[in-house]
Structures are given as C-alpha cells and as structure tokens.
Chain A
C-alpha cells in the first residue's frame, strides 16, 4: 500500500519531468528513473550546466533523471532527514558533503561506490581520492563512498590597490605564513592616516559561528606551524605529539595576539559565515583567507573591483617548507535504500568522465576545481594567465601540494569542527584571559573526549 502510493507519486512526477523536458525521443519503457538531489550553484550557469549534463545523460543512456535543484542548506537538512527516516533519493550531489558522509558512512548508510571510482583512480588527484574515502564501522573497512567531481581550496584574498596605496608592492608579499600576515600590519596605520579611518589590516576569521571559516583558518595556521599530523589518515588524533601541541600553541598565540594588537576588526569574534566576505567587500580590511574564489567571483561583473583584488596561493610554512592546502571533495553519493542504485552509479560514471567533468565545472566560473588533474592540463582555460584569480586558485587546488580535509578520516573530526573548539581556544585567550597553553590543553582534552567515542575496531 505504502509502496504503491510512493511509486505513483514518482511516476507522475516522472511523467511531468519527461513532458517538461520535451526530449525528441520517448523514454525507453525499459529504462529506469532515478531521483537526484543537486545543490544549487553559486551562479546560474552552474545550474544550467547541470541541466545540460542531465539532458545529455538522459539522451545517451535512455534513463530518466528526476532531479531537484535546491539550496544548499535545504538539501543538507533534507538529506539528513531522509537518511534518518529511511526515505532516500537515489543520488545526492553536494559540493561539500562533509556534514553528512563521515557519520553516515560510519553507520553503514551509504552505498559503496568503489566500482564507480576505481576506473578513474589513476586520473584522480590523491586528495580527491582521500577525501572520498570514509570508514564504515559495520563493514570495518575504508572504502570509496563519494564519487568526486570537484574540489575546493582556500586562497588568500587581497585588495591589491590598497596595498599600493599604502606604498607597498604586492610582489613583495613574503612567502612564509606568519611573515605574510605581518606584511600587511604596518599598512593599517598608513591607510588610516590617509583617511581610511575604519580599515584593519587582517580579516582573520576568529569567529566561532558559522561552519567553516574559523576552522579553516585555524587548521591552516597549524599546518603552517608544523602541526599537520594532528589527525592521521587512520583517523587517530595525535594531541600528544609535541610538534602538534607546539603548532597549536603557536597558532593560538599568533591569532590572539593579532587580535589583541588591534589588527583584526573586533567583531570578527562574532562574525557569521558571510560577514568576513561582507567585510572584505566593504574594504574593511586588506586580506583574508577564505575558501574558493567566491569572494572574487561575486565581483565578476564589476570588472574594476575584480581586477583590484589579488588572489594568492599558499605560502610556505614558518619553517620554510611548502604548506599543503587542505582540500575537500564534492560529488555524488548514494544513500542505502535507494531504489535505483544502478542508474545513480551510471550517472556518476558518466559525470566523472574527464570531458564531462571539465565542461560541467567550467560553467561555474572556476569556483570549483576538477578532481582530475589532466583536465586542467588539457584545457588552457583553467590556467589561463589572463585571469589571475582563477589560474592561481586552480594551481593551488590541483597542482601544488595539497592534503585532504580530516573529515574523511573519522567522523570525530566533523564533530570537533561543528563544536568550534578550535577557534574557541583563540576566544579563550582573547576573551577569557587564558594563556595559550591552557587554552590549547582545554581544546585537546575536549577533542580527545570526542575522538574517544569513535573507536575503529
């Protein structure tokens, strides 16, 4: 009874979709239909690119896709609701599935897609592969649960014209982490003297609100200080490693000192996810460290501003060695209980073809980098020097050293990030007067408590 009503809903919406698409050929009666949830893109071209891809796929395969393009937040909540209630779509395509995959793969709720990914293994970047691997506790193994299509990295965004106004040259920007941030500090005073009364040097995201920025900045600062070993790919936390501890302390010290010395806008502590971008566009500060080039692309139509911005890739660490950028992977995953796993897998196989992948991502103005290195080498558009933002960003995301986000290693890390304990330690120093050491110890303790809940045997 129940099944019938669901199927009747599906068939009627399929009918509508088929009619709506007005494809010249009639869908094969043998062909199957898959329900797909796609997150809405950043620019309309991304959505259009997906629709085109879907249409091409349907033509080629004869299968039908019943897709819904929905806002990212809605899709996140819907997918979680679907997974919790057991009523799932066939394929979910997310730019950043980090909130959903680790936990649900752990609980054996996602379909293993190794058969889809393996043919492409030799083409995918290492980090794409790592970021698509998750641990399933029931099966006791790590496997591919995500079919990666896109990757995101984090560059520096700078107002080049303000740097010049302060009398400095952007080409002089140092190439080590701390020195790079320090470079901008003296400009604050100079620019204020020149009439920009409210400007700050650094847009350090020390907030504990909003999903990503605070965590992102903190982790990269740690990596730059030698602390990349805090979580290893086997999902273990290494807070007892003295190098890691030292890196964390240095991170907290640097961020809190910059804040206390007045180089960071004071309300950075209570920024939400959009406020660092709002501040940047408002020219409230000179430089920030924010994921993808969406900051620049938002100004795409304002060529003047677009050209004033400067995008910088990762510098070297404070020890002079290259710092890998942490990169995530986005793509499609299949919840368990999906009725049409075959079509879902087929679609992802189609999508992962380098040609299809490349074209699909190109439409997004390069905000997301492809998961296959060869694409950026074959198509000159990606590294086209005439667009300095995109070429720097793509180089950072695909060609220069990268490391995978920790979320794939264990669901515990996702919880650590969700609880914002990283930047909380900075806030502890700034607001609650703790010493950096004490704040870091507090943070480590909490992280260990969280990790203790996820044992691997």
Chain B
C-alpha cells in the first residue's frame, strides 16, 4: 500500500522523534466495529469479574474480621514482611529484568541459546520450584550449602532458620521465578523501538550510555512504570513462593499477607478472614490501581 509507505517515510523524516497525536474521533461505520471488538471483553468482564469481585468484597466486609486480624500479634509483622517482600522483590526484579533485557538484545548465538535456559524458571510450575528452593536451602541435605562446602569449604548457614535470611530467600526465589517473564516483556518493548531511531542517534554522535538515556529509556519508561505497578499488585497476592519456600517460618516470622490469608481461609477454615487479610492491603493497592487507570487513559503518545 503506497499510502502506508509514504506514511512511514513521512514518519521517519520526523527523526526528531515526535509523533502527531491522533486528533479525531471515529467515523460512523467504524463505531459499530468498535462495539463489536470490545464486546468479547465486556462479556467476559460482566460474566466473570463483576460477580466474583463483588462477592469477594462482600466476604470481607464485616468490621469484626478486621478487629480480629489486628488483634493478632503477628499481623504487624506480616505487614512489614509484605512491604519488604513486595518492595524489594518487585523493584530489584524489575530493574534486573530491564538490564538483562538489554543484554539479550545481542545477536550472538550463545546469547540466544542462553535465553532458553533463562526462561526455564518461568516455564516450570511454581509448586515444585518453590519446593526445590526449600530443599536447596536446607542446611543438611540442601544443594546450596553442600556446594558451598564442596567449592569453598565454607559451612553455609541454615538459611531458613532465621527470619531475615528466610525472608531474603523468599525474595530471591520470587525474583528468580518471575524475572524471565518481565525480561521478555522488556525485550519485546525494546524490539519495538524502531531501528532508525538508534541510527539517528548514532548520526548525532550519541553512543553507549547517551544512547540509552536519550533513546531507550524514555521510550521504555512508561512500560517500566506500568509493569512495576502491575507486578506490585500481582506480588501482593502471591502465596505459593512464600508458602513453599519458608512456609512462613521460622515461627511465622516470614508470613506475608497472602500466606496469612490463605492460612485463614483454608487451614482455619474461615475464608472471610482470608479475604479480609488481603483486603487490608487495599490502601496500597487501590492508589496503584487508580494511578494505572489514569496512566492508561492518556491517549497521546509522548516521550
């Protein structure tokens, strides 16, 4: 389509990297297409989101649940753990994923091969990998300490016996599991950056760091922010890792809100308490959700 080619050329000649904002509304017949295209999601939403979320909120509505939660001396601890787990886990991981995605842009064959190994953590089911971590870190038969001994003659500590190393282990396990995922997302994002932008930058004499700061980073910044926020929401709800790696131990000191909630729901048998536990994270989750909503509704492309 020659029109497209012309447009592309036109777009490229704006090498100063400005896109024109699309200023118009829809023309008549396109409106029905819009409706048709959004109908599937609307149906999914109404059928499967509206009721469960409302029901879920209803399950956790009684104030008595919250007074019970706050009574628990471990609750505060759990909140601190959650903040640390989510705060460190998400941010360290995002940052590393971002850097590593740059590494994987390289073309060498061994980089490509490495990538396959790299996504394995993500590809494996969470339950066995978390369990594997749990056993890896065991002081007696764990591979990690045994390797330390074998390679360096160092007797490793019992990682899961102390609150901070256990928390650290949980964080490391979580980063390990999901970093490949975000790396893939960032990689896709990097690949979206048109080659000619880099070439224009080269022409302007920007290399290495300057190239990164002026071309890559601004374009990916939005993506990075959105991913971080989404990941925060996901991590607040993640219980598999903590549950199987440290089990919330030793002595419940590494529980996070999600594991607390699951325990209340399925071990104590009071799902309302479980939902309430996770809902106490809402003061953090809701602002994030609102922020994301606003971010996503801006329609202009900008730098």
Is chain B in direct contact with chain A in the complex (CB below 8 A)? yes
A-B contact pairs, 5 of them (CB 8 A): A99-B266, A265-B139, A284-B140, A431-B250, A446-B73
| Distance from A109 Cβ to chain B, minimum over Cβ atoms (Å) | 10
- Residue numbers of A with Cβ under 8 A of B are 76-77, 80-81, 84, 99-100, 102-104, 198, 207-211, 265-267, 269-270, 272, 275, 278-279, 282, 284, 414-415, 418-420, 423-424, 427-428, 431, 446, 449, 453
CB atoms of A209 and B248 under 8 A apart: yes
Residues of A within 8 A of B263 (CB): 418
Q: Are B250 and A272 in contact (CB under 8 A)?
A: no
Tell whether, in the assembled complex, residue A209 and residue B267 are in contact, meaning their CB atoms are under 8 Å apart. no
B54 → chain A, closest Cβ, in Å?
13
- Complex CA gap A76/B268 in Å reads 11
Q: Chain A interface mostly helix, strand, loop or mixed?
A: helix
The yes or no answer to B270 lying at the interface (CB within 8 A) is yes
A269 in contact with B249 (CB, 8 Å) = yes
Q: Which residues of B contact A (CB under 8 A)?
A: 59, 68, 71-74, 134, 138-141, 158, 160-162, 166, 244, 246-252, 263-272
- Determine how close the nearest CB of chain B comes to the CB of A101; give it in whole angstroms: 9
The answer to whether A424 and B251 touch across the interface, beta carbons within 8 angstroms, is: yes
Q: Beyond A208-B251, A209-B247, A284-B140, is A84–B268 a contact (Cβ under 8 Å)?
A: no
19 further A-B contacts with Cβ under 8 Å, apart from A99-B269, A269-B249, A419-B268, are: A77-B266, A99-B267, A99-B268, A102-B269, A198-B140, A208-B249, A208-B250, A209-B246, A211-B267, A266-B161, A267-B158, A269-B251, A270-B161, A279-B140, A282-B141, A414-B268, A415-B268, A418-B263, A424-B251
* Pairs of residues from A and B, 8 with the lowest C-beta to C-beta distance, nearest first: A209-B247, A427-B251, A270-B160, A209-B249, A418-B268, A103-B269, A418-B267, A208-B251
Residues of the A chain whose Cβ atoms lie less than 8 Å from the Cβ of B68: 453
Interface of B is mostly: loop
Nearest CB of chain B from residue A370's CB, rounded to whole Å: 27
Shortest CB-to-CB span from A72 to chain B, Å, is 12
Q: Which residues of B contact A419 (CB under 8 A)?
A: 72, 74, 252, 268
Closest Cβ neighbor of B270 among chain A residues: A103
Residue of B with least CB distance to A282: B141
Q: Which residues of B contact A198 (CB under 8 A)?
A: 140
- A267 and B140: CB pair below 8 A? yes
Q: Which residues on B sit within 8 Å (CB–CB) of A278?
A: 141
Task: Say yes or no: A100-B140 contact (C-beta < 8 A), given A209-B247, A420-B252.
Answer: no
Expressed in whole angstroms, the Cα–Cα distance for A442 and B249 within the complex equals 18
Q: How far is the CA of A159 from the CA of B251 in the complex (A)?
A: 29
* A residues near B161, Cβ cutoff 8 Å: 266-267, 269-270, 431
A423 to B158, CA, bound (A): 19
**Which chain B residue lies CB-closest to A423?**
B251
Q: Which of B248, B250, B264, B265 contacts A269 (CB 8 A)?
A: B250
In the docked arrangement, what's the CA distance between A208 and B254, Å?
11
With a CB–CB cut-off of 8 A, which chain B residues contact A210?
247
Q: Which residue of B lies closest to A273 (CB)?
A: B247
Other-chain residue from A266, A272, A423 in contact with B139 (beta carbon distance below 8 A)? A266
Query: From A208, which residue of chain B is reached at the shortest CB distance?
Result: B251
Task: Tell whether A449 pairs with B134 under 8 Å between CB atoms, given A80-B271, A211-B267, A420-B251.
Answer: no
Chain B residues with CB below 8 A from A77, complex form:
266
Q: List residues of chain B with CB within 8 A of the CB of A420.
A: 251-252
CB < 8 Å neighbour of B59 from A84, A275, A282, A428: A84
Q: In the complex, what residue of chain B is closest to A106 when comparing beta carbons? A: B269
Query: Shortest CB–CB separation between residue B221 and chain A, in angstroms?
Result: 41
Q: Looking across the interface, which residue of chain A has its beta carbon closest to that of B263?
A: A418
Contacts A270-B158, A270-B161; A431 near B251 (Cβ below 8 A): yes
Residues of B within 8 A of A282 (CB): 141
- Whether A266 and B250, one on each chain, are in contact in the complex, defined by CB atoms closer than 8 angstroms, is no
A84 CB contacts on chain B under 8 angstroms: 59, 271-272
Inter-chain contacts of A103 with B (CB < 8 A): 268-270
Given known A99-B266, A418-B268, contact A427–B140 (CB-CB < 8 A): no
Smallest distance from the beta carbon of B103 to chain A beta carbons, Å?
35
CA distance A103 to B271 in the complex (A): 11
Q: Are A80 and B73 in contact (CB under 8 A)?
A: no
Alpha-carbon gap, A453 to B67, bound state (A): 11
A269 CB, nearest partner CB in chain B, Å: 5
| A415, closest chain B residue (CB) | B268
Which B-chain residue is minimally distant from A73 (CB atoms)? B266
By beta carbon, the residue of chain A nearest B166 is A270
Contacts of A272 in B (CB 8 A): 134, 244, 247
Complex alpha-carbon distance, A165 and B44, angstroms: 67
Which chain B residues lie closer than 8 Å to A414 at the CB level?
Answer: 268-269
